[in-house]
Structure 1
């Protein structure tokens, strides 16, 4: 069966409306029998998925199910959080975010399950950045300055811990802190705000193409990092793949196919970095040097090992949820997940020892 890539880009206003609808409307999912026919599946365009399609790893797995693969732009670079709307409306079968925003989506009413989690994050992934020419050299220099990032993302979770550790808390919905905070839900707009001086510093994934370009051109510098033993690195900064519960119950083998293809592709990319970077550059329209940076830099997040233990996943959510609530998280304070909900949020069938696990016992 022929495979093809479909690139779908949605206007920002439409994405915002979709997200609002995804949050406000209750889920109508109901139990379904496993392994229902699946003629096609929409997967997110990522560095590894474009390589997997080009090299045939996705086709190898999905041809066994008679399923055609479409790669779809999840819209996250246009509007952070867009993937939740696409997931809820059926435009995307599997979404990828860090575990904190995935948990916020769950708290906002998305009936989704985590089917894969990465091992712990890194202090290099989401540092605090300032312009090289700014004169700002440490977190202490940001007192009463303007910090901007995406609220429901690592651009908030990582710096919240960094600033708290430095005794300079960010503004939050409850009280004024010692650093002004602006929510900017677009990675390109965040970079533009930093370059134009509208904000003094930001925090985001260094491996994202627009941010990697600022690093490679020596326009920004790191002035603070997440504690290596902290809540972000060990818990909130883990990568998660999550799926609507109705879909995963109906098509568990489609999830297994995705996870198997990911493992094969990740191994191939690590062994063939230059060829992989060339494929990613061509398919996602970024410079080869930036594609290579996204693979090899310590901040990389798309090519991590999986966390086999479902208990570690459950404990990670419980740990970071409590920590952020204790430190002014207005979202999870009002809509936090119960222990029972967290237990069911992590679909143990896809972790080690589970019925659909890709991990060897």
Structure 2
């Protein structure tokens, strides 16, 4: 579980030259110090935003002169972005709405500042080894081993799909018809599938590791998410979230970030060839993988935002209730109530809010 200790969200680790800005929990009564630098996740769109000067243009307007992209590495544990927020090593994190909500339920004092519209069936397909002739559909997973991280789309997407097929996945409360094996490390999940340690894996094939796995030719798609289901309409939406202290102290910085996201992703779509080259170089992947993430419908960086904060709150309420009703143990003891959900979705960044990009 993540510590509930409220560390200053501006703390930044830069190796031996680490800089630390520490402001106690009493800082709410004191004007925020000027923010002159910001740490963000290193990913395809942020690489483009920095290379094309988008970050510089937008953050200069709010007095932020330095943007640092923090790479987590291929061995990142799922959920590491929330630890990064809590330690202050990154300012704003990206995760799908289910894990973002789970982090909040586990004590992370964060708020959602942007959420996409609904997901789609291409985002998180169920994969099996191409050479495995026994598994060609979800039905073939009965009695087999499914491997994934617990708090993420690898779990939540197929949880609904397996349930709809009458093949519930194992949980702590029950024995299902499909065995579950927890594998929290991103690279280890792919290796587990390819080695035969697990029989199935759902993953975002629109990110670096997922695209590399899918394009290797060693796997095949054997299932999709439930169309118009709770995963697509709620749990699987893309979200950006930040520590509450940061969002309260530096809302202009959050808005600059969201404007940069919108500008960068639009530029990427309009300039696929150049963007592919920048992403390939900046994230150190083959250009084919960089391009795939842009043009394939599984990509998740190019979905429009849901402008309505209440719509997002309803989506959280609905998927949380569905997963609890269907035996998911994450929210059973930590369910967010309506007040907590309302506060979790920070309305000032949605339509009608003072810092909305939807004006």
TM-score strictly above 0.5: yes
For residue 237 of structure 1, report the CA deviation from its aligned partner.
Answer: 0.4
Contact 2:102–2:151 (8 Å) recurs in 1: yes
For residue 263 of structure 1, report the CA deviation from its aligned partner.
Answer: 1.1
Q: Does the residue aligned with 2:255 lie in a helix, a strand or coil?
A: helix
Residues 254-273 of structure 1 mapped to structure 2, 5 A cutoff: 254-273=253-272
Which residue, 55, 58, 74 being the options, matches 1:58? 55
Distance 2:200 2:212 in 1: 16
Deviations 1:292-330 (A, max 9, x none): 111111110122211111111101100100000111111
Which residue, 86, 89, 92 being the options, matches 2:87? 89
Contact 2:74–2:187 (8 Å) recurs in 1: no
Residues 232-271 of structure 1 mapped to structure 2, 5 A cutoff: 232-271=231-270
Distance 1:132 1:71 in 2: 36
Aligned length: 339
Which residue, 72, 77, 80 being the options, matches 2:78? 80
Distance 2:288 2:188 in 1: 22
Distance 2:63 2:302 in 1: 27
Match of 2:98 in 1: 100
Match of 1:274 in 2: 273
Contact 2:40–2:69 (8 Å) recurs in 1: yes
Alpha-carbon RMSD across the aligned residues, in angstroms, is: 1.4
Distance 2:54 2:29 in 1: 28
For residue 211 of structure 1, report the CA deviation from its aligned partner.
Answer: 2.1
Distance 1:106 1:211 in 2: 26
Residues 46-195 of structure 1 mapped to structure 2, 5 A cutoff: 46-67=43-64, 68-74=66-72, 77-135=75-133, 136-195=135-194
Distance 2:249 2:139 in 1: 52
Contact 2:4–2:109 (8 Å) recurs in 1: no
Distance 2:3 2:167 in 1: 34
Deviations 1:164-188 (A, max 9, x none): 0000000001011000001111121
Distance 1:33 1:49 in 2: 32
For residue 128 of structure 1, report the CA deviation from its aligned partner.
Answer: 0.9
Match of 1:4 in 2: none
User: In 2 relative to 1, CA 275–292 (structure 1 residues): closer, same or farther, beyond 3 Å?
Assistant: same
Structure-2-length-normalised TM-score: 0.91
Distance 2:87 2:3 in 1: 13
Residue 323 (structure 1) aligned with residue 322 (structure 2): yes
Residue 43 (structure 1) aligned with residue 48 (structure 2): no
User: In 2 relative to 1, CA 75–115 (structure 1 residues): closer, same or farther, beyond 3 Å?
Assistant: farther
User: In 2 relative to 1, CA 231–117 (structure 1 residues): closer, same or farther, beyond 3 Å?
Assistant: same
5+ residue gaps, structure 1: 1-19
For residue 76 of structure 1, report the CA deviation from its aligned partner.
Answer: 7.7
Match of 2:17 in 1: none
Contact 2:162–2:169 (8 Å) recurs in 1: yes
User: In 2 relative to 1, CA 168–34 (structure 1 residues): closer, same or farther, beyond 3 Å?
Assistant: farther
For residue 245 of structure 1, report the CA deviation from its aligned partner.
Answer: 0.5
Residues 275-290 of structure 1 mapped to structure 2, 5 A cutoff: 275-290=274-289
Residue 355 (structure 1) aligned with residue 354 (structure 2): yes
For residue 54 of structure 1, report the CA deviation from its aligned partner.
Answer: 0.2
User: In 2 relative to 1, CA 358–77 (structure 1 residues): closer, same or farther, beyond 3 Å?
Assistant: farther
Q: Does the residue aligned with 1:65 lie in a helix, a strand or coil?
A: coil
